[in-house]
Structure 1
Amino acid sequence: MKIRPLTIEGAFEVTPLQHGDSRGTFLEWYRFDALAAAVGHPLNLAQANLSTSARDVVRGIHFADVPPGQAKYVTCVSGSVLDVVVDIRVGSPTFGTWEAVPLDDEERRAVYLAEGLGHAFCALTEGATVAYLCSSTYRPGHEHGIDPLDPELGIRWPAGTPLLSTKDAAAPSLAEALATGLLPTFDACSKHIETVSRT
């Protein structure tokens, strides 16, 4: 398993070692010890989610209040998606930037993103199936979104016409979320992760 940091602090790309023969393929798509060694602390698992999406569906940009936030470990088990991590942490050196990683059922890569980072993806195939492990459970009222089509972010979605949920389409821009105090701070996220690292 190869784990490499992305340019946004707290985000990592994970490439598993696949073992294949005429019967099929075997791989370890998640190893708590390998991830903990790279990230600096274990991923405390609280919830596992799975979604299927039609081609050109864009889900996100989603994030949760910190603390406790919601770290995620994301992979695409069927089809392919473009997975996007967005730094929405006020005061971060890379605030307002994004990075994309293709996830599919061939390379079997995964993405880890720490608490406080925004997450989104675009389905590149029909029925794209994404599975993700989360460090905390869903908490209504503490989960938020940023407009994935915000021109200031300038995410280059590989979709002719991105298909959004009503909720995602109505989400504020990054600037609007910043002005209303909705975004987590880099300092609060760092302090929370330090606390997690000590437990």
Structure 2
Amino acid sequence: MKQSDFNINSARAKILVVDDTIDSLRLMANMLTDQGYNVRKVLNGQMALTAAQSAPPDLILLDINMPQLNGYEVCQQLKNNPITAEIPVIFISALDEVLDKVKAFSVGAVDYITKPFYFEELVTRVETQLKLRFLQKEISNKNQETSKIQDQYHRLLKHIKEGFFQVSLEGKFKKINFSLAQLCGYESIDFFLNAFDNSIYNLYSDLDY
């Protein structure tokens, strides 16, 4: 992905900010809005779960110390829901103990920012995770396209009436279809491969030139 591509995507990126402290919530939202992000703000964990499921964001910034559902519990529920499981979560908290950070990563966080934070730190970490998120989506889409093409290829190979085979440089069969096995007098592809020891050279040696 080119930098220009990311700049276009980042302007459309949706970020959900979750914090029960209004001043902190407003500060983070303003910082990210100024960078061109589409920001939604919620004040508690239950609202965060509802918002994330109804309109999944590209990234979630999540406070830890909140009433009813704390950040750890929210993150666990997000990761247990197929709709929200892949959304990256960055914890932002005044808690600075190692165990707090370890717990955050253990429930599925991708990063941890300690309050108070610098503007540059927040923006850089958000941008990094969004880059990774977009790259993962791009790879996933390409994998799906490749899988679709492979499925079409296998269906075609299975149903064509002409015999077909593909051989590696080492002389091994990579692909053959059922029609070829039938044309050679075999009831299945496995019987065909066993008869020729999976080698094109053995097949050629049986031919009368």
Q: TM-score, normalised by structure 2?
A: 0.27
The structure richer in helix per residue is 2
Higher strand share: 1
The answer to which structure, 1 or 2, has the higher relative contact order (CA under 8 A, 6+ apart) is 1
Q: TM-score, normalised by structure 1?
A: 0.28
